[in-house]
Chain A
């Protein structure tokens, strides 16, 4: 019997305990990975292909304040601006739903295509979207959720405007980082609310990344000291400011992660020391046979490290498979859409597992090192 098989046999001697230990490590690490993935999803917004060239303009007072439609030609004249579209949150509720479950935005179909470059849709469908005022295009995730298909008519009751609008679905788009939204013609909205000459925000495409800084400052400057001062920022900065509004979510999820890890270490360490205590007499025999402390410590460490790693493989690996190959958008009803397990998250999971293996070996190892052979042999329990 080699030392390797000796360790393996020992680890699996009490199969029930080994299974329970591995499973509790696996469940906890699965949870930890899930939390880290959720944290990443909430705090690191996905970056669309076109995002690097997009600017969002909102009222300086707050995003809930509207902007005058007359700002459009002024923005369009700024050098470096390629396309401008209104981008107004409609906040519609579908059927009997009590909340707005997917985003709906009023846009200008003529320029929208140039701004929303990542959305893939058939040219015929887009043609219809451009020509039919009541037409809208819907993202794949929402379309799947509600089983929408081109040609369907849906009606949405706005919580922002005093109207309920009926839309014809012209097509389904996909390929953007967030295939949940519905886009419809801004003119249709204006017509129905008596053309107040207001939009929610402006969505702008700049010619190149080099144009970005000066376009942003030119837009901010253009409306300075007017009744409607604006804040123009890159799409990325805009998303990040939205996240900062949520408050200290990092701290919140971070503390939960800490508690999970702590609980995990506690439980695993106690199991490990239980396994060793049960074997005190054998270890005393090994000591009597001439095995050194160092070797005994290696046995214990290898066993606990092995169990922890096996748990990590199941937990972190399971989470990786679920989030990479599972349809998360579908499972969470479109709340989480990317759920990417990054190498960093994988690393964190395995790092926790390995420190777990080491920490749980410490207490039993000390006990074994301190034990005198005679006492160890006398142990009954």
Chain B
């Protein structure tokens, strides 16, 4: 017969002083784990959010990022007239030749400099990316040195406000609008007219081409056609696929999170062990009584394991609660793939919370295994005699 769970629950709460420290310890370990993993999750999510399944992204073969890709103008012309491309209201193909330039700009509050991804887009480029919304000011005028900046970057870089101006490539650019990319990779970009960008930065070629097709199936057909065209040494893929692959920066964050969780959990296991040993020690007589009443060794063992797991679970739940307020908080980091500042949000997903809780239960079980075994092995008579 198993001991009732309420026995364990009550025991955890009765010895609250000793258990509180362990609960807090486990809570902090789980909070660190959840927070760091939520950064990685946020970074991945912002990439995965990006793109339209009807869009095809075309870059040079072999380049891993748009910023190091080049598409020649004659190639761009060939792409523009591929069959299957959707047309806008005036009958023009929905194609944007983009120029991606990294520019080094000062952050706000003199906090050093960082690279910002500037994207020059063709007039169709805005319609191709419906995820981006203008929230303040106006769009740039083609042919003028005007830019729109994302709201997230505006919070981080000097002069990024409507009416602000800054110099790059020897030319001055005027900020005329603020956009919101709604947690996509476009939150980390500033946009201007493609041809103007080519002249400011002295670029002969485009970096990438974005094409809208009538449907996701047509998009696949266009991508296949570009890939197989001998005249075009280019790589074509769905825009959503391209962005989904841009998550390499999240890898070291995940590794760091796992490493820290592992290292800190060793400390937490020791803490849980200490608490549980003390708990067993001070309840020696109680355990003897239980044995006399007919509870088997196995029941005692399971009972203490449950107690340890419950103790750590409380810590895990507290840890998740501690980390929750960070959900949605925007942070920026250097993205190794795009080589520029990437802004993303902490994302505490339900899966992450479950993982954190499971992790805490494991810590509790490992920590209480030895004490529970000791409790189960206590000789009945001497246990009863102990003071």
Q: Do A and B come from one complex?
A: yes
- Tell me the A residues contacting B by CB distance below 8 Å: 16-17, 20-21, 23-24, 27-28, 30-31, 34, 60-65, 91, 98-99, 157-160, 162, 164, 225-229, 241, 244-248, 256, 259-260, 262-264, 266-267, 269-271, 273-274, 278, 380-381
- B112: contacting residue among A162, A228, A241, CB under 8 A: A241
Q: Which of A16, A30, A159, A263 contacts B68 (CB 8 A)?
A: A159
In the complex, residue of chain A having the shortest beta-carbon distance to the beta carbon of B32: A259
B295 at interface by CB-CB < 8 Å: no
A162 touches B333 (CB 8 A): no
Chain A residues contacting B278 (CB-CB under 8 Å) are 17, 274, 278
1/0 per residue B226-249: CB within 8 Å of A? 000000010000000000000010
Q: Which residues of A contact B70 (CB under 8 A)?
A: 162
* B130 interface hit (Cβ, 8 Å): no
Given contacts A246-B333, A263-B25, contact A27 B104 (CB under 8 A): no
- Contact A157 B115, beta carbon cutoff 8 Å: no
The answer to whether A159 touches B63 (Cβ under 8 A) is yes
Q: Is the CB of A380 within 8 A of B387?
A: yes
B201 to A: closest C-beta gap in Å? 7
Known: A27-B270, A61-B102, A274-B275. 10 other contacts (CB 8 A): A17-B278, A31-B267, A65-B101, A160-B63, A262-B28, A263-B25, A267-B270, A267-B274, A270-B275, A271-B271
Are the C-beta atoms of A270 and B113 separated by less than 8 Å? no
Contact A264 B267, beta carbon cutoff 8 Å: yes
Please tell me if the beta carbons of B274 and A17 are within 8 angstroms of each other in the complex.
yes
Assembly CA distance A158 to B103 (angstroms): 22
CB-CB under 8 A from A16, the residues of chain B are: 277
B55 to chain A, nearest CB (A): 23
Find out whether the CB atom of B115 lies under 8 angstroms from the CB atom of A62: yes
CA distance A3 to B170 in the complex (A): 77
- Whether B32 lies near A256 (C-beta < 8 A) is yes
**CB distance A260 to B264 under 8 Å?**
yes
Q: How far is the CA of A157 from the CA of B266 in the complex (A)?
A: 43
* Interface pair A159/B113, CB less than 8 Å apart: no
CA distance A20 to B114 in the complex (A): 46
Q: A160-B68, A259-B32 are in contact. Are A247 and B170 (CB under 8 A)?
A: no
CB distance from A308 to the nearest CB of B (A): 14
For the complex, what is the distance from the CA of A31 to the CA of B111, rounded to whole Å?
A: 29
Whether the Cβ atoms of A266 and B25 lie closer than 8 Å is yes
| Minimum CB–CB distance for A29 against chain B, Å | 10
A-B contact pairs, 23 of them (CB 8 A): A16-B277, A20-B273, A24-B267, A31-B264, A60-B168, A60-B170, A61-B104, A63-B115, A64-B339, A65-B102, A159-B63, A159-B65, A162-B60, A162-B62, A226-B170, A228-B202, A241-B113, A244-B114, A247-B331, A267-B22, A267-B274, A270-B275, A278-B282
Q: Are A247 and B260 in contact (CB under 8 A)?
A: no
A226 cross-chain contacts in B, Cβ below 8 A = 170
Number of B residues whose C-beta is below 8 Å from A?
58
Binding site for A on B (CB under 8 A): 17-18, 20-22, 24-25, 28-29, 31-32, 60-65, 67-68, 70, 101-104, 111-115, 168-170, 201-202, 233, 248, 260, 263-264, 266-268, 270-271, 273-275, 277-278, 281-282, 331-334, 339, 341, 387
Chain A: which residue is nearest B170 at the CB level? A229
* Chain A, residue nearest B270 (CB): A24
B102: which of A60, A64, A225, A247 is its contact (CB, 8 Å)?
A: A64
With A64-B339, A162-B61 as given contacts, are A247 and B68 in contact (CB-CB < 8 Å)? no
Beta-carbon nearest neighbor of B260 in chain A: A256
B112 contact set on A, CB distance < 8 A: 241, 244-245
Residue of B nearest to A249 (CB): B333
Closest to A24 in B: B270
Q: Which 4 A-B pairs have the closest CB atoms?
A: A270-B21, A244-B112, A24-B270, A64-B102
The distance from the CB of B234 to the nearest CB of chain A, in whole angstroms, is 10
Q: Is the CB of B28 within 8 A of A159?
A: no
- Smallest CB–CB gap between A42 and chain B, Å? 11
A20 and B25 alpha carbons, distance in the complex (Å): 15
Q: Smallest CB–CB gap between B368 and chain A, Å?
A: 13
B233 touches A263 (CB 8 A): no
A159 (CB) vs chain B CBs: closest residue: B64
| Complex Cα gap A128–B331 (Å) | 49
In angstroms, Cα B339 to Cα A65, docked, is 12
B67 and A23 contacting across the interface, CB-CB below 8 Å? no
Measured CB to CB, the closest approach of chain A to B371, in angstroms, equals 10
